[in-house]
A and B are shown apart, each in its own frame.
Chain A
Amino acid sequence: MSGPRWPDDAVTRWSRRGLAVVSLLVPAGARKRWRREWEAELFELRRRGAGRVRTLAFVAGSIPHGIWTRKEEWNVDSLRQDLGYALRTLKKSPGFASATVLMLALGIGATTALFTVLREAVLRPPPYPRPERLVVVDHVFHLPDGRENTMAWSYPKFRAFREEVGGLEGVAGYRRMRLTVTGAGDPTIIQAEAVTPAYFSLLGARPALGSLDLPEAEDGSRPQHVAILSYGLWQGRFGGDPGTVGRRVTLNGTLLTVVGVLPRGFSGLTGSARVWIPFGALPELDYARRLEAPLSHWFRAVGRLAPGTSLESARAGVMAAGRAIEEAVPSPPQFEARPGADLTPLREARVNPVARTSTLVLFGAVTLVLLIACANVAGLTLVRNAGRRRETAVRAAMGAGRTRLLRQFLAESVVISLVAGALGLGVAWLGVDLLGTALVEAIGTSGTRALQYLDPAELELDAGVFAFACLASLGTGVLFGILPAVRGSRPDLTGALKEGAGSLARGSDGGGRRRMAGGPVLVVGQVALALILLVGAGLMLRSLAGLQGVELGMNPENLLTVSYELPRADPAAEQPALFLERLTEEVRGLPGVEGVTSGCPPLSGACDITVLMQVEGRPPGSEWIVGEGEVQQVGVQYVGDRHFRVLGTRILEGRDLRASDGSDAPLVMVLNETAARTFFPGEEAVGKRIKIGAGPLVERFGRVVGVVEDIPFRSPEEEILPEAFLPYRQHPRAYATLMIRTSGDPLDLVPAVREQVQALNPSLPLRRVATMEERTAEVTARSRVVSYLLTAFGALALFLAVMGIYGVVAFSVARRIREFGLRMALGARGPDLAGMVLRQGLAMAAVGVLLGLGGAWYGSHLLSGLLYEVEPTDPVTYVGVALGLLSVAALAGLVPARRAVRVDPVEALRAE
Chain B
Amino acid sequence: MTEQEFTRLFGMYRKLVYHVAYCNIGDAAEAEDISQEVFLKLFTRPPVYSEDVQVKSWLIRVTVNRCRDIRRSLRFRLTEHTDEEPTAPAPDEGSSLLDTVMLLSPKLRCVMYMYYYEDCPVKEIAAVLGIKESAVTSRLMRGRAELKKLLEQEELP
The answer to whether A and B interact is no
Point out residues on A near B: beta carbons under 8 Å: none
Point out residues on B near A: beta carbons under 8 Å: none
